[in-house]
Amino acid sequence: MDNRTEAREFLVSRRSRITPEQAGLEPIGGRRRVPGLRREEVGGALGPAPGCGVRCMQYLLDAITGAPAFIANNRMDIVAANDLGYAMYSDMYRGTARPANHSRFIFLDPLSHNFYPDWDRAANVNVAILRREAGRNPHDKRIAELVGELSMRSDEFRTRWAAHNVRRHYSGTKTFRHPVVGLLELTYAAMELEDDPGHTLTVYPAVPGSPSDEALRLLASWAATERIAETARAASRA
């Protein structure tokens, strides 16, 4: 079973734990063969959110409590996340630009060199993904604007963009250095959202019992104290 299948089954299992009554819904149809919310009820539970339909996914993100999880669009804006996701990327929200964007953070924010121990690898992967998305969406004005901005403001980006590398990995391991909890060595699984083209769900679990697993627990405690998620969501709506 590949990681995308595992991620999909994980989301289905989480959805099954939420009843229509808990979500404030009148159940659709009659007797259910399986527990939990039906797929069509997930959007109704959340209602529309301005600017991004995938935020009907927020209940599912919030159900993932042991690992950072977030949804990004095809220009790598973070459009939704769980508490640990916002906490892990707290440095990205220290700037004023909204929505928070992986590419801008990597190439325009000096904090990224501390956050990514292997900054060169992170930069190369980021540009390769962005070039892939630009190739898939050649008429996307917002992607073109982002590429133009980064090309003007970052020599590092401009050099890598000229290399024409294109790739996308949906599973693997990554290392981060969080300013509060230190080194995080995390696996990851990414899944494109078929019902929301151009959006990808990524989850970053740690190996159970590992130092990074303990660090994520500390990160969760810190996030609860600092109210990082509330601040990030409020800034995104402003």
Does 97 fall in a domain?
A: yes
Does 166 fall in a domain?
A: no
Mean pLDDT, the chain, integer? 80
The answer, yes or no, to whether residue 45 has pLDDT greater than 70, is no
Q: Among candidates 50, 41, 2, which has minimal Cα distance to 23?
A: 41
Q: What is d(CA 116, CA 176) in angstroms, rounded to the nearest whole number?
A: 5
Looking at residues 28-53, what average pLDDT do you find? 44
What confidence tens digit (pLDDT) does each residue in 56-67 have?
A: 788 889 999 999
Q: Among candidates 132, 195, 55, 119, which has minimal Cα distance to 109?
A: 119
Which domain range does residue 213 map to? 3-107+178-237
Looking at residues 175-202, what average pLDDT do you find? 93
Pairing between strand 78-81 and 69-73?
antiparallel
Most confident of 8-12, 49-53, 96-100, 166-170: 96-100
Which are the contacts of 17, defined by CB distance < 8 A and separation ≥ 6?
35, 36, 63
| DSSP reduced 3-state for 154 | coil
The answer, yes or no, to whether residue 95 has pLDDT greater than 80, is no
Q: What is d(CA 135, CA 198) in angstroms, rounded to the nearest whole number?
A: 13
**Residue in the structure block whose two tokens are 């060169």:** 120
Which pTM does this prediction carry?
0.73
Does 149 fall in a domain?
A: no
Does 126 fall in a domain?
A: no
Does 91 fall in a domain?
A: yes
If you write DSSP's letter for every residue of 15-48 in order, what string do you get? HTT--TTTTT-PPSSSS-SSSS--HHHHHHHH--
> Going edge to edge, which strands form the sheet with 69-73?
78-81, 69-73, 199-203, 182-192, 171-178
More confident residue, 8 or 188: 188
**Structural domains counted in the chain:** 1
Q: What is d(CA 235, CA 218) in angstroms, rounded to the nearest whole number?
A: 24
| DSSP reduced 3-state for 70 | strand
**Residue 173: enclosing H or E segment and its boundaries?**
strand 171-178
Does 147 fall in a domain?
A: no
* Whole-number percent of the chain with pLDDT over 70: 71
What confidence tens digit (pLDDT) does each residue in 121-136 have?
A: 999 999 999 999 999 8
Does 205 fall in a domain?
A: yes
The answer, yes or no, to whether residue 199 has pLDDT greater than 70, is yes
Does 185 fall in a domain?
A: yes
